[in-house]
């Protein structure tokens, strides 16, 4: 496994095979995953980052690992499970241009990240990272037992001086019921140092009335640093206990909002790791997200990256 002393961030989650159905019925294949998108943008911004997941021993899993390595993302903590395949999802576009997602992920190895023979060694290695980053999707796929091992890991990371960053990314279809999700999110927020919640996520999960209620919920859970993504373009940063609204960068034409939040997280964390303050980091995050939504797909061409 990778020597964790050389890496500052470990991004945990799942990358899936992405199939896109064109109007003529033909399919194109790619890869997709929220925390993977963040890891790629962190690497492009010069942050040493490892992606932590589990894949199969098939050729597509090989292609995934090779693609991540080509982006500068560390792959030393990608566990490989014999005779298994990654999850898959299909994107369909309706007549109005709206996207529909169909998933096949129940047997994906990533769901067992904390229940494999290599998991204990993996957790020991992750304790040495400066930042552990994960999302609400990550939290959902590991199940109750996996989450228990995750929370034990996060306690050890924080006890050693590391930080935990969490992007809420609430996806109802991944959870058995809302009550289970609320319990898991409550515990996760109590283990979080840098919270990157979305107003829509937590309003829909908890029924919070507005952005102020969401902010209060996350603050009361104990997160030291909060960046609240608003429904309208922009965010609120809690700096020294005072909410500061940071408007988004104006974009004349939005092409595709895929990975807007994932790239925002990367831009914010990269700036904070460079030593910039929360408000300046939020501005940097907005700049990256504004660039990403002007291109099709989750990962934009390298040449399009903002300076």
- The owner of tokens 């919920």 is 217
Q: What is the biggest distance separating any 2 CA atoms in the chain, rounded to whole angstroms?
A: 55
Is 262 annotated as catalytic?
Answer: yes
Q: Measuring CA to CA, how many Å separate 63 from each of 40, 107, 246, 252?
A: 15, 19, 39, 36
Angle (nearest 5°) at CA 34 between 185 and 306? 125
Q: What's the CA gap between 14 and 289, in Å, rounded?
A: 21
Q: Which of 50, 167, 208, 262 is catalytic?
A: 262
Q: What's the CA gap between 181 and 102, in Å, rounded?
A: 21
Nearest to 220 by CA among 201, 197, 204: 197
- Give the SS3 label for residue 50: strand
Let me know how many helices (H) and strands (E) the chain has, helices first: 10, 13
Q: 236: which strand partners?
A: 228, 245
Instruction: Enumerate the active-site residues.
Output: 262
């Amino acid at each position: 496994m990778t020597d964790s002393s050389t890496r500052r961030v470990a991004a945990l989650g799942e990358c899936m095979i992405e199939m896109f159905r064109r109007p003529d019925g033909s399919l194109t294949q790619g890869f997709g995953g929220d925390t993977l998108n963040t890891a790629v943008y962190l690497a492009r911004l010069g942050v040493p980052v490892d992606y932590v997941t589990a894949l199969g021993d098939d050729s597509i899993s090989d292609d995934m690992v090779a693609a991540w390595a080509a982006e500068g993302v560390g792959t030393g903590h990608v566990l490989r499970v014999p005779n298994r395949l990654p999850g898959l999802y299909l994107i369909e576009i309706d007549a109005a241009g709206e996207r529909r997602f169909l998933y096949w992920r129940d047997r994906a190895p990533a769901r067992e990240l904390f229940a494999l023979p290599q998991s204990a060694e993996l957790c020991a290695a992750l304790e040495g990272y400066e930042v552990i980053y994960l999302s609400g999707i990550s939290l959902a796929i590991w199940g109750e037992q996996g989450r228990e091992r995750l929370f034990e890991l996060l306690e050890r990371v924080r006890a050693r001086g590391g930080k935990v960053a969490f992007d809420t990314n609430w996806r109802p279809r991944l959870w058995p019921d809302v009550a289970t999700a609320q319990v898991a999110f409550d515990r996760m927020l109590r283990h979080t140092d840098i919270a990157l919640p979305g107003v829509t996520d937590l309003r829909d999960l908890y029924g919070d009335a507005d952005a102020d209620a969401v902010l209060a919920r996350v603050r009361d859970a104990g997160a030291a640093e909060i960046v609240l993504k608003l429904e309208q373009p922009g965010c609120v940063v809690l700096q020294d206990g005072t909410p500061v609204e940071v408007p988004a960068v104006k974009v004349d034409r939005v092409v595709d909002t895929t990975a807007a939040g994932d790239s925002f997280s990367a831009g914010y964390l990269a700036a904070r790791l460079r030593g910039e303050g929360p408000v300046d980091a939020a501005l940097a995050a907005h700049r990256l997200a504004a660039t990403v939504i002007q291109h099709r797909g989750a990962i934009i061409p390298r040449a399009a990256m903002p300076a």
